[in-house]
Structure 1
Amino acid sequence: MIARRWISSSFPRLESVQSSQTQSYLNTILSKISKKDTTKIDVASKGSVPSSKDSSTPTAPVYKRSTHPTSVPLNKLFSSNFPYSVTDSVNDYSYRENPLAFQHDLLSLLPFYPEPDMATGRSSKVFKVMLEDGVEDGNFINEFCIYPEGKSEADPPSSMNHLIMVHGYGGGLGFFLKNFDEISLKSDNWCIHAIDLLGYGCSSRPPFELEEETLDHVEDWFHNSYQTWLRKRGLDQVPREQILVMAHSMGAYLMTTYGIRKDPKFCEKLLMISPGAVIKHRVEVNVPTYFAKLWERNISPFVLVRKAGPLGSKVVSLWSSRRFAKLPEEEALRLHKYAYGIFQSPGSGEYMLNYLLAPGADARHPLVDRGMDKLRCNFLWCYGKEDWMDIQGGQECSEIIRKSGYNSEVMEIEDSGHHVYLDNISAFNELMIKEMGKFDKVEQK
């Protein structure tokens, strides 16, 4: 009852909603969720994040790969299960203003965080990289950095090779949890930088305000902050032959356009993992009416999580119970909490979606038409065998890149969909280690 009263009192304040029909869609979803569990709500006292072992686990017995974002009809959504309990959901809600606590809890599963791994010498650190000089409370990029044995932030960046890992739309660096350990263990003298793009993950969440609503201004919002992060971390002074960038989905799109518009030689090689907005859809995608209306009004899926209030973590469990289902119980639970932590944070970078993609995730400004021939780096385009991204996009772009004198290959990974790094963890990690092994070894300094 408490949850239902909260919904009815707060939902009418939904930002950006001009249509009563749109509001009705979301209100129906939230009401349905609250009826699934009438457990008495007992808000936990604030403090450190409670032990994951004390909470129920939002896992499901059957693992389902990711599907196209328009493939879920409303009636199927209403009949879905939201396995996380209301009690645990409210428990998570009490820590909503500190997503870094969920990130810390998640990364603590790694053998080298927060303390160094004495067996391998690896260490790691979370950085808050301020984007404005001399401003303590300004915008910042959240970074998780892994150092190889014998190295730390005190060493010159040029003494190591560098892997930069960039998440996709709505994601965060924590989603690479299952890749950090093996990649850093088997790659010699590599410094790994996993970052949250501005307005995503645990980075700052400024209002998505543009001087002009143009493609250049939308991309500059991300490109400029990324460029500043490179400078603040000294990576702009590292020879490009020592830099490998791996980017997923919309992150891959943003990294490629960064190269086209800002610095064609920004890395030696760019690994495009299930890249988005590469070509137009070759086959028409059936987009449900309600989904198209929400999309055109730039109402992201995360609005529902935020407006669910104490039920937000329960809402997220509809997705996380499938996405993390094949992982060990404790990892799945902490990833669920982390996902909730970043999904419910203030809306910011997510509002770029409607500028770059039309309803149905069709590219408004396909990469293939953006000037791929301007890039001066090598490429690898990697798709899941059952990816809803079109592999032909990588093939068409590769033809352009090869004509300009650089190497570009396309490959598929078996038993995986859009989230290759989670769908087939071992194959993805093996691929990353192989690609890092192609770089010349940097002499220790």
Structure 2
Amino acid sequence: MGGGAGDLPAAASAVDPAAAGPAAASAPGAGSWLPQSLRWRRTSTAEADTAERGMLGLLRSRVAARSVPVGPGPQDYLRTLEVEPPGGDAAPAPGKAAAAATDASAAAAAASGDGARLPVVLLPGYGAGAAFWWRNIDGLAAAPGLRLFAVDWLGTGRSGRPPFSARGHAEAEAFFVDSLAAWRAAEGLEGRKMVLVGHSLGGYLAAAYALRHPDHVQHLVLVCPAGVPEKPEGWESRFSSPAVPALRRALFRAAAGAWEAGVTPGAVIRALGPWGPGLVGKYVGGRFSYHGQPLTAEEVPVFSDYFYHISASAGSGEFALRHLLSPGAWARSPLRRRLLGLPPAGEGGPGPAPAAADAAAPAAAAAAAATDAAAPAAAAAAAGPGAAAAPPAAFPPVSFIYGEHDWMDPRNAVALAAELDKARPRAVPSDHDVQIIPDSGHYVMVEQPAAFNETLLRLLAPWLPRG
């Protein structure tokens, strides 16, 4: 975390669907002194706020939106959407929001019955934002016993954009994990366990959080997660071998070079200037029409506007990508090894191959009580160099949800779940469970929202009120 230009937004605001309909997202040039036609990058904080309000205007639920400080810098805050409980106290009017909740702890204390409700935190994937869960919020909000949040990771979405200075995957993970831990404390959730529901790269980071803070997590739900398998040996040769056509080799080298140099989709959108919104609009119109329930004519412009503004905002957390994943989206520290308690590849040998891991996994999982890379110094010293970074015995239940046509191959999770079953007993019936939702792809929660919600609630049934 670190400082950056700009001031922290107002601590909280409440969005009433009746007052923040989809039309709000098209308000031109709000908060900018330059006309749209003279600006290269067509975004501003005020316009991003309007775009977010447009997304929340698609909901029936009332949502309190606030920026929760997680560090000393003016850009150290996490944008937080909390759903008002059905039948609960009315959210404050937008003009009175700051007076009603001047900090996160006051906002948390103001909610009635929060201590009895299970905190469920929806975490978006790479390049996405908290409002990507808009099709799920109404259905999940109707389930009894949940306190529902959607939170932008630091440096992404509508969260603060501090300078990103991390080097290596451990520092990159800490950028996100430490800020989420600070958010939990600021929200008054200390002493409470929360459910983390992370999509794509957000699933990888949610797992990293659970490995670091297993006592904070009731249940870990990984939705189409990145970073589960290990990179196959010789994967690059598929593109770099002399037998591969020269053009294909050149394209691979260019793509891999851009990846390692930190070129990101957000950087491309910012560089395109006035052509950025059109590119995002075309992407949204096509990308979300392949599977399940296509976006409606009402949703497309609102979602496109929101997607553009979070993509065109100052670069920050997006630059973690090359530190967390290598070209081809292979994790530099794969979850399979970490959840099984195996040492990182290259430490104490390459480790057992997947076919031979069954016998080694139980012993490795039970060998250490250290919690990932953040294990106490004494445990690390006793274990010695190259020791297994095994999850503790009390590691929370973990479940997986995939789309049938997901480009993140669900077979990797199925194989991992079988290894986990042999390594340790299931804490609850849905532990180590893998669910695949038909007629959906990588954005399963958008493409099949009803099926996704039903699946998620079934996985969380052990923690929810019965009847």
TM-score (norm 1): 0.71
Look up the SS of the partner of 2:179 in the other structure.
helix
Whether 1:364 aligns to 2:332 is: yes
Corresponding position of 2:463: 439
Contact 2:200 2:223 in 1 (8 A): yes
Residues 379-416 of structure 1: CA deviation (Å, up to 9, x unaligned): 11111111111223213432343322333111211111
Corresponding position of 1:149: 86
Look up the SS of the partner of 2:156 in the other structure.
coil
In 2 relative to 1, CA 362–89 (structure 1 residues): closer, same or farther, beyond 3 Å?
farther
Corresponding position of 2:270: 306
Look up the SS of the partner of 1:101 in the other structure.
helix
Deviation at 1:93, TM superposition (A): 5.5
Q: How does 1:232-381 map to 2 (within 5 A)?
A: 232-238=186-192, 240=193, 243-260=194-211, 262-282=212-232, 284=235, 286=239, 288-325=252-289, 326-372=294-340, 373=365, 374=391, 376-381=395-400
Contact 2:399 2:459 in 1 (8 A): no
Contact 2:41 2:312 in 1 (8 A): no
Q: How does 1:54-65 map to 2 (within 5 A)?
A: none
Look up the SS of the partner of 1:165 in the other structure.
strand
Residues 200-223 of structure 1: CA deviation (Å, up to 9, x unaligned): 00000011113xx23221111111
Of 107, 110, 120, which aligns to 1:163? 120
Stretches of structure 1 lacking an aligned partner (at least 5 in a row): 1-47, 56-86, 114-123
Whether 1:405 aligns to 2:425 is: yes
Of 64, 75, 85, which aligns to 1:125? 64
Look up the SS of the partner of 1:381 in the other structure.
strand
> What letter corresponds to residue 430 of structure 1 in structure 2?
E
Contact 1:90 1:310 in 2 (8 A): no
Corresponding position of 1:97: 45
Deviation at 1:229, TM superposition (A): 0.3
CA separation in 2, counterparts of 1:49 and 1:189? 29
Contact 1:324 1:335 in 2 (8 A): no
Look up the SS of the partner of 2:65 in the other structure.
strand
CA separation in 2, counterparts of 1:236 and 1:280? 34
In 2 relative to 1, CA 439–313 (structure 1 residues): closer, same or farther, beyond 3 Å?
same
CA RMSD of superposed structures (Å):
2.9
Percent identity (aligned) = 26
Q: How does 1:139-218 map to 2 (within 5 A)?
A: 139-151=76-88, 153=108, 154=110, 155=112, 157-185=114-142, 187-210=143-166, 213-218=167-172
CA separation in 1, counterparts of 2:458 and 2:405? 23
CA separation in 2, counterparts of 1:54 and 1:229? 31
Whether 1:423 aligns to 2:447 is: yes
Deviation at 1:335, TM superposition (A): 0.5
> What letter corresponds to residue 295 of structure 2 in structure 1?
L
Relative contact order, higher structure (CA 8 A, sep 6+): 1
TM-score (norm 2): 0.68
Stretches of structure 2 lacking an aligned partner (at least 5 in a row): 1-20, 29-34, 90-107, 240-250, 341-364, 366-390
> What letter corresponds to residue 346 of structure 1 in structure 2?
A
Contact 1:247 1:273 in 2 (8 A): yes
Residues 41-83 of structure 1: CA deviation (Å, up to 9, x unaligned): xxxxxxx99656899xxxxxxxxxxxxxxxxxxxxxxxxxxxx
CA separation in 1, counterparts of 2:150 and 2:213? 20
Whether 1:394 aligns to 2:413 is: yes
In 2 relative to 1, CA 302–162 (structure 1 residues): closer, same or farther, beyond 3 Å?
same
Residues 224-275 of structure 1: CA deviation (Å, up to 9, x unaligned): 100000000011221x3xx322111111111111121x21232221111101
Corresponding position of 2:379: none
Look up the SS of the partner of 1:193 in the other structure.
strand
Count of residues paired in the alignment: 346
CA separation in 1, counterparts of 2:466 and 2:185? 21
CA separation in 2, counterparts of 1:228 and 1:127? 15
In 2 relative to 1, CA 151–400 (structure 1 residues): closer, same or farther, beyond 3 Å?
farther
Contact 2:61 2:84 in 1 (8 A): no
CA separation in 1, counterparts of 2:37 and 2:252? 29
Deviation at 1:329, TM superposition (A): 0.8
Contact 1:89 1:313 in 2 (8 A): no
In 2 relative to 1, CA 386–92 (structure 1 residues): closer, same or farther, beyond 3 Å?
farther
